[in-house]
Amino acid sequence: MSRAETAAAVRTPRPLWTFGLLRSELLTTFRRWRTLALLGVLAAVPVLVGIAVRIETGDGGSFGGPGGGGEAGGGGPAFISQVSNNGLFLVFTALAATLPFFLPMAVGVVAGDAIAGEAGAGTLRYLLVAPAGRTRLLLTKYAAVLAFCLAATLVVALSALAVGALLFPLGDLTTISGTRIGYAEGLGRALLIALTVAASLVGLAALGLFVSTLTGSGIAAMATTVGLLITVQILDQIPQLHAVQPYFFSHYWLSFADLMREPVYWDDLVRNLGLQALYAAVFGSAAWARFTAKDITA
């Protein structure tokens, strides 16, 4: 038996080391200034919306009730008209305001940079020589990006909750269907909506990770991912493309509002989650195929 084999027996991989790698990945992601800045911008959105609504409605005055705004264009419900009645609605408003662009842009930046940024800095080769293992590293990266999706959504939601509680009255709330639910249940719905919004970003995260395996430049990968996001969002507005729009990752994003119906209208929600899973599977596989066969020359 060669010495190589005997020594290998001494140093066997530890069963839980993958979690150590994930922990390191999360620490690295969330200790970046860029990540914190993105989260800071996201936290500021509800503050701006809240202050704007507060100024608009004057001192304690009501914002005209449900009749005032009605259903504002497209799939976006007019949560904003309810904000002055109940601060909890600021959570829904803020998520609806950030989901089309701010949230996915932040996710695109983090996902696009995941592999390409490491390649550009040269740290990728040292992680692989450590050896982190390509499949594990990719899975860890994806897990970290998903954690960022969740963190970003929760930052928006919590910031909105805090601002809403500070500026507006709290209490029972009226669903889109017109029924009234208690504040506690409203909080539960808000959490559910935040989780749904985070899950809506899963597909884009996989797409960004795939783009990230194609290049050695973090900036290029971020720009490509965010560019794809904008393109898809624009195409989703062109009526002539009606036939393909249901396959755009962003098509059902605003379906989260259906969670505020009584009873909950599940069809689009399920379609959204299915579509995200499809994107994750397709682009996750593509990223894996690309990354495990790639020559690391950076």
Which residues lie near other proteins (CB under 8 A)?
A: 2-5, 7-8, 11-14, 17-18, 20-21, 23-24, 27-28, 31-33, 121-133, 137, 293, 295-297
Q: Quick one: 126 or 266, whose CB is closer to other proteins?
A: 126
Could you tell me which of 222, 219, 214, 199 has the C-alpha nearest to residue 280? Answer: 199
Gap between the Cα atoms of 22 and 137, Å rounded: 9
Nearest CB to other proteins, comparing residues 19 and 247: 19
Q: Nearer Cβ to other proteins, position 143 or 195?
A: 143
CA 114 to CA 142: how far, in whole Å? 8
Helix axes 134-167, 202-214, angle to 10 degrees: 140
Closest separation in Å from C-beta 296 to other proteins: 4
CB of 18 to other proteins, least distance (A): 8
Burial group, residue 55, by CB count within 10 angstroms (0-12, 13-18, 19+): exposed
8 A C-beta contact, residue 36 and residue 148: no
Considering the complex, what minimum distance in angstroms separates the CB of residue 206 from other proteins? 22
Return the residue matching tokens 């992680």.
Answer: 127
User: What's the min distance (Å) between Cβ of 131 and other proteins?
Assistant: 4
- For other proteins, the closer CB: 7 or 243: 7
Tokens of 145: 């990006």
Report the nearest approach of other proteins to the CB of residue 295 (Å): 4
Compute the distance between CA of residue 238 and CA of residue 240 in angstroms, rounded to an integer. 6
Min. distance of Cβ 100 from other proteins in angstroms?
Answer: 30
Nearer to other proteins, 6 or 237 (CB): 6
Question: Which residue lies nearer to other proteins by CB, 243 or 293?
Answer: 293
Kindly tell me which of 5 and 59 has the beta carbon lying closer to other proteins: 5
Q: Kindly state the smallest distance separating residue 6's Cβ from other proteins, in Å.
A: 9
Report the nearest approach of other proteins to the CB of residue 134 (Å): 9
- Which CB, 3 or 242, lies closer to other proteins? 3
